[in-house]
Structure 1
Amino acid sequence: MPSPQQARAQASAITAGGTAPAQDASPTSRLRELFEGPGLSPAHRRIAQYLIEHLTEAAFLSITDLAERVGVSQPSVTRFAGAVGFSGYPALRERLQSLALGSLGNGVPSAPAEQRGNELQAAVDAEIENLENLRRDLTDPGRVIEVGRALSRSAPLTVLGLRISVSLAEYFAYAARRIHPDVRLVTRGGSVAYDALLQSREAGGTWLLAFSLPRHARETLTALRVARGAGLRVALVTDLALGPLAEEAEEVFATGTGSRLVFDSYAAPGIVAAALLQAMTDADPERTQARLEEYERIAEEHHFFLQD
Structure 2
Amino acid sequence: MPSDQQARAQASAITPGGPSPDAEAAPTDRVLALFGDHRLSPAQRRIAQYITDHLTEAAFLSITDLAERVGVSQPSVTRFAASVGFSGYPALREALQPIALSALAPSPGAGDAARRNELQAAIDTEIENLESLRRVLADTGRVLDIGGELARSVPLTVLGLRISGSLAEYFAYAARRIHPDVRTVTRGGSVAYDALVQSREAGGSWVLAFAMPRHAKETLAALRAARATGLKVALITDQMLGPLLGEADAVLTAATGSRLVFDSYAAPGVLSAALLQAMADADPQRTQTRLEGYEHAAEQHDFFLDD
* TM-score, scaled relative to structure 1: 0.63
Partner of 1:242: 241
* More relative contact order, 1 or 2 (CA 8 Å, 6+ apart): 1
Q: What are the within-5 Å matches in structure 2 for residues 51-130 of structure 1?
A: 54=37, 117-130=116-129
Structure 1 range deviating more: 133-142 or 116-125: 116-125
Q: Is it true that 1:300 corresponds to 2:294 in the alignment? A: no
Going from structure 1 to structure 2, the CA distance change for 1:116 and 1:177 (only over 3 Å counts) comes to: farther
Q: Distance in 2 between matches of 1:149 and 1:283?
A: 5
Q: Distance in 1 between matches of 2:136 and 2:178?
A: 26
> Which amino acid in the other structure matches residue 212 of structure 2?
L
Contact 1:162–1:187 (CA under 8 A) maintained in structure 2? yes
The Cα of 1:272 is off from its aligned counterpart by 0.9
Q: Distance in 2 between matches of 1:273 and 1:218?
A: 23
Q: What are the within-5 Å matches in structure 2 for residues 1-308 of structure 1?
A: 54=37, 117-308=116-307
Residues 218-243 of structure 1: per-residue CA shift (max 9 Å, x gap): 10000000001111110011112111
Residues 147-180 of structure 1: per-residue CA shift (max 9 Å, x gap): 0000000000000001101111000000000000
Rg larger in structure: 2
> What runs of 5+ residues in structure 2 fail to find an aligned partner?
1-35, 39-82, 87-112
Task: Report SS of the residue matched to 1:260.
Answer: coil
Residues 228-262 of structure 1: per-residue CA shift (max 9 Å, x gap): 11111100111121111111001111121000000
Q: Distance in 2 between matches of 1:207 and 1:179?
A: 16
> What runs of 5+ residues in structure 1 fail to find an aligned partner?
1-52, 56-67, 72-113
The Cα of 1:117 is off from its aligned counterpart by 3.9
Q: Distance in 1 between matches of 2:305 and 2:275?
A: 28
Contact 1:116–1:122 (CA under 8 A) maintained in structure 2? no
The Cα of 1:70 is off from its aligned counterpart by 6.7
Going from structure 1 to structure 2, the CA distance change for 1:302 and 1:259 (only over 3 Å counts) comes to: same
Going from structure 1 to structure 2, the CA distance change for 1:233 and 1:116 (only over 3 Å counts) comes to: farther
Going from structure 1 to structure 2, the CA distance change for 1:303 and 1:165 (only over 3 Å counts) comes to: same
> Which amino acid in the other structure matches residue 139 of structure 1?
A
* TM-score, scaled relative to structure 2: 0.64
> Which amino acid in the other structure matches residue 133 of structure 2?
L
> Which amino acid in the other structure matches residue 196 of structure 1?
A
Going from structure 1 to structure 2, the CA distance change for 1:158 and 1:118 (only over 3 Å counts) comes to: same
Q: Distance in 2 between matches of 1:133 and 1:116?
A: 27
The Cα of 1:285 is off from its aligned counterpart by 0.5
Q: Distance in 2 between matches of 1:152 and 1:201?
A: 15
Q: Distance in 2 between matches of 1:54 and 1:139?
A: 27
Contact 1:235–1:252 (CA under 8 A) maintained in structure 2? yes
The Cα of 1:54 is off from its aligned counterpart by 4.4
Residues 49-91 of structure 1: per-residue CA shift (max 9 Å, x gap): xxxx949xxxxxxxxxxxx9679xxxxxxxxxxxxxxxxxxxx
Going from structure 1 to structure 2, the CA distance change for 1:54 and 1:141 (only over 3 Å counts) comes to: farther
Partner of 2:95: none
Q: Distance in 2 between matches of 1:142 and 1:116?
A: 44
Q: Distance in 2 between matches of 1:250 and 1:233?
A: 6
Q: Distance in 2 between matches of 1:247 and 1:116?
A: 44
Task: Report SS of the residue matched to 2:184.
Answer: strand
CA RMSD of aligned residues (A): 2.2
User: Size of the alignment, in residue pairs?
Assistant: 205
